[in-house]
Structure 1
């Protein structure tokens, strides 16, 4: 029944710590979660895109806007755990974990992410962009380094690779928090305990790498701004208002 189906899931909890209630904060006249959902739905690459939440308030706001909702447990420790819960409700071959605090996502971000699945060896995919100069040393901008076949070698908040000889290296790559999983890989993730590097860096994708599960990385066009603090929200609103003119 789920053969060849692709389901997008937007984990959206209301209890964010650094920016209160951020998924429902208004940006250019729409709640943040609606911007994210519309970008995913407009890509046309997924059979269904749902918001996964444990909040009745988030669910009601979504239903008012005809956005499909899947209710999940408040005990989910990560976005991927919430996606796993949805996989037990909605059958599919591939599940896409779409960050609910990325309102600058566009439909074009999803094609490279899902295009990697033409390769049968790919179980998990993600995307990156060339790292802006101002983000190279920014610990909130996660960097990624990859092998020649685009398997991720490591993700870090540190500047990787380290340019020891100060050659002027400019090939830094910034990770964008979109993931796609074949169902079996998502089940593997959910069965694993949080790993040491994951806990040190606070990056859940390291749980997969530490357990020998490869993540393949495709380059996408267009950087985004994850909304973590009020200043991020204001920057994003200016950009989205500019797009709509």
Structure 2
């Protein structure tokens, strides 16, 4: 679990540095700590009560929805914004929202993966694999959290008439998002097919043993 918190902190630090979030940084990081502890507690309960891996999927969706709902509340953003000294503006509120939302969702994704994989590895190691597009996820995280990616994202979100690159960066951001979405779908399809192939191979590997025991018990019954 410490891994997810460390990665969320690193992501938050990168976003705060690029978006020049200084006075509000402590409040943003405190929010990540509180949310991380709540998420860890909920996943621990799910781990203790799980009978099927689907419970971890629903837990992750519920935690992510809860966090997104809280972050999108204007009162929470205003409370964090009040920690700063600069005057109110919509651009800064959007940047604070992203600084809270992106690391939090990344934290949920990592915790879901680690907890689910550990639970399955103790019960059915072959089932520890999922159809989640991890390669695309890593590429997307690196692209978004890199300095160029954050600069493009910041420019695309700004409501500025003087930033003539805004429209270009907005198109770049939307285009990159579309490409990553298509890549994620393709990777999911490939992974699901691989999982099905593994399941078929495993069933075929067990078939000879089943036939052998059936023959043994059949011969034993006939001898009686």
Same fold (TM over 0.5): no
Instruction: Name the larger-Rg structure.
Output: 2
Write 1 or 2 for the structure with the bigger share of strand: 1
> Scaled by the length of structure 1, what TM-score is found?
0.27
Write 1 or 2 for the structure with the bigger share of helix: 2
